[in-house]
Amino acid sequence: MKKTALLIDGSALFFTTRALGGDKPLDYRRLEERLKEGYRLKAFDYTVFFTAYNLANESQQKFLAFIRDTMRWTLDAVPWFEAVVPPATYTTLEGNEPRPFIRFDARIAFSLGRLANVYDEVIVVSDSYPLAWPMVEAVKKGTAVSLAFFAQSLDPRWMRYFRSPSPEIKLFDLDHFSGELFGLKGALPGSDIRLP
């Protein structure tokens, strides 16, 4: 039976969905359902949600409890004062302006290395371009790897990985489901953008 792992960059997802959905929160239950439907899975064998948090922020504490207790995802949470904010990286959001925020690239890359050749498939939810190389290395070890994210917010350098007839990394474009992920009747603006 196929074993599938899901690695979620909670920081990238939070900041991107705030930019896309405005005041509409992302429906994490629907995100998981849509991913399971898209990959024809009953459940994920292993799921990790990477995020930073502020101990003094009560709403963040409730959110972490929701991720851990309701979603039943393994939580890799770092206090914000221990997290590293790297230099801003290029993104197609917000008028192509760079935006800095906490990244979990090292933790995700390490997890990919540990999961490669143990899991049949790993799905990474992140927009971070530096994860491309570790993802390709996992593919070389025999693990299928997908990037699940909103294509309109991806660094354009990602596109070379998705264009070939048999891409090394497959893209699961969340733009196609943006309306339902944000509880809207229609899709969000920009979700009709197609990859070049």
What are the residue ranges spanned by the domains of the chain?
4-181
Cα separation, 160 vs 162, whole angstroms? 6
Residue by residue, DSSP assigns 146-162 as EEEE-GGGS-GGGHHHH
Q: Which residues contact 145 (CB under 8 A, 6 or more apart)?
A: 112, 121, 122, 123, 124, 135, 136, 138, 139, 168, 169, 170
Query: pLDDT tens track of the chain, all 196 residues?
Result: 889 999 999 988 988 888 887 778 899 999 999 999 999 999 999 999 999 888 889 999 999 999 999 999 999 998 877 765 555 554 444 444 544 557 789 999 999 999 999 999 999 999 999 999 999 999 999 999 999 999 999 989 998 888 877 788 999 999 999 889 988 765 555 545 454 4
Q: For the structural domain made of 4-181, what CATH number should be given?
A: 3.40.50.1010
E strand or H helix that includes residue 176: none
